[in-house]
Amino acid sequence: MTIDFHAPANRYSYAGREVQSDWVAVVRPLVDPVAKRVADIGCGGGLYSAAWADLGAAHVTGVDFSAEMVRTATEKNSGRANIVFRQGDALATGLPAESVDIVFERALIHHLADYDACFREAARLLVDGGRAIVQDRTPEDVALPGSPEHIRGYFFECFPRLLDTERARRPTSQVVEQALGRSGFGALQKVTVWETRKRYDDFLGFATDLRGRVGRSILHALTDAELNELARFIGQRLPANAPVVEKDRWTIWSGTKT
Ligand SMILES: C[S@@+](CC[C@H](N)C(=O)[O-])C[C@H]1O[C@@H](n2cnc3c(N)ncnc32)[C@H](O)[C@@H]1O
């Protein structure tokens, strides 16, 4: 089973946490968003749409093909006049051409079959000289071993078949770079980031989030019984009664529309 982004039950899956300073520290040197227009494509609950506005963007448009995600993002960002959300497909957003300075796509492309079409749409939206920022996990990011510093690695130790699923859907860096190049982007840069996903007071808080499959689409490939087994497996490997800091390694590609 894969996640159904359109299901009302999943509408808060990408809304229940805060963007952390380690993400800001890596993204900020890549592009100056102050007074810029940003499109956040595949915006989910709009966490990063808000983060771009917090960084000084003049206007942010979040786009998602799921009406439920758009509803959640709108609800979570109500009262912020410079952030709007629209339903649209990443391959044909419906936004005007050359209407933004930055296109941001986080955790989107591994859900798509056609990266070129996605990046061509990003190029269409951008003004000349605009920047695309694409964040996802490569097969190498995903396959890092489990440890208290990389809890997600335990998912694959416990259920190796999940790693096959990840390897099949995660983009290699070469594939992303080539697709960006073919779609009209130059001056490509690649950085990696250990992004804090969430902090929990203790293991119980983490396990509750895990059992809810919150924000981790790969967990939709496990049954409820398997999810309980995974929680037990991880619980045996983390210190009891101590705060849990969940970090994942990501790759961020950026390119300038030429
Ligand atoms: C893993 S979530 C990431 C959400 C958000 N970018 C974040 O990082 O918190 C992927 C999002 O992409 C959206 N999505 C998937 N395929 C899409 C498509 N073809 N067009 C637009 N949005 C899409 C999903 O609905 C979901 O909200």
5 Cα nearest atom in ligand 1: 25
Residue 201 Ramachandran class (φ > 0 left, ψ -120 to 50 alpha, else beta): alpha
User: Using CA atoms, how far apart are residues 154 and 233, in angstroms rounded to an integer?
Assistant: 8
Query: What spacing in Å lies between the alpha carbon of 37 and ligand 1's midpoint?
Result: 20
Query: What spacing in Å lies between the alpha carbon of 106 and ligand 1's midpoint?
Result: 8
* Contact residues of ligand 1, CB 6 A cut-off: 5, 14, 42-44, 47-48, 64-66, 69, 89-90, 106-108, 111-112, 217
Query: What spacing in Å lies between the alpha carbon of 69 and ligand 1's midpoint?
Result: 8
pLDDT values of the chain reduced to their tens digit, one per residue, 258 residues: 788 999 999 999 999 899 999 999 999 999 999 999 999 999 999 999 999 999 999 999 999 999 999 999 999 999 999 999 999 999 999 999 999 999 999 999 999 999 999 999 999 999 999 999 999 999 999 999 999 999 999 999 999 999 999 999 999 999 999 999 999 999 999 999 999 999 999 999 999 999 999 888 899 999 999 999 999 999 999 987 899 999 999 999 999 999
φ and ψ of 81, to 5 deg: -65, -25
66 Cα nearest atom in ligand 1: 25
Residue of the CA atom closest to atom 27 of ligand 1: 44
From 65, 83, 106, 214, give the residue whose CB has the most ligand 1 atoms within 8 Å, as the site to mutate: 65
Which token pair is 100?
């933004």
Residue of the CA atom closest to atom 13 of ligand 1: 42
Residue of the CA atom closest to atom 16 of ligand 1: 111
Query: What spacing in Å lies between the alpha carbon of 102 and ligand 1's midpoint?
Result: 17
DSSP letters for 209-240: HHHTTTT-GGGGGS-HHHHHHHHHHHHTTS-T
Q: First and final CA of the chain: distance in angstroms?
A: 40
**Matching residue, tokens 């990443």:** 90
From 49, 63, 64, 250, give the residue whose CB has the most ligand 1 atoms within 8 Å, as the site to mutate: 64
Residue of the CA atom closest to atom 11 of ligand 1: 42
Domains of the chain: 8-148+170-197+250-257 (3.40.50.150)
Query: What spacing in Å lies between the alpha carbon of 79 and ligand 1's midpoint?
Result: 23
Query: What spacing in Å lies between the alpha carbon of 72 and ligand 1's midpoint?
Result: 13
pLDDT the model gives residue 2: 84
Query: What spacing in Å lies between the alpha carbon of 64 and ligand 1's midpoint?
Result: 6
Quickly list H helices, 28-159: 47-54, 67-76, 115-125, 139-142, 152-158
User: Using CA atoms, how far apart are residues 118 and 108, in angstroms rounded to an integer?
Assistant: 10
Which token pair is 249?
């390694």
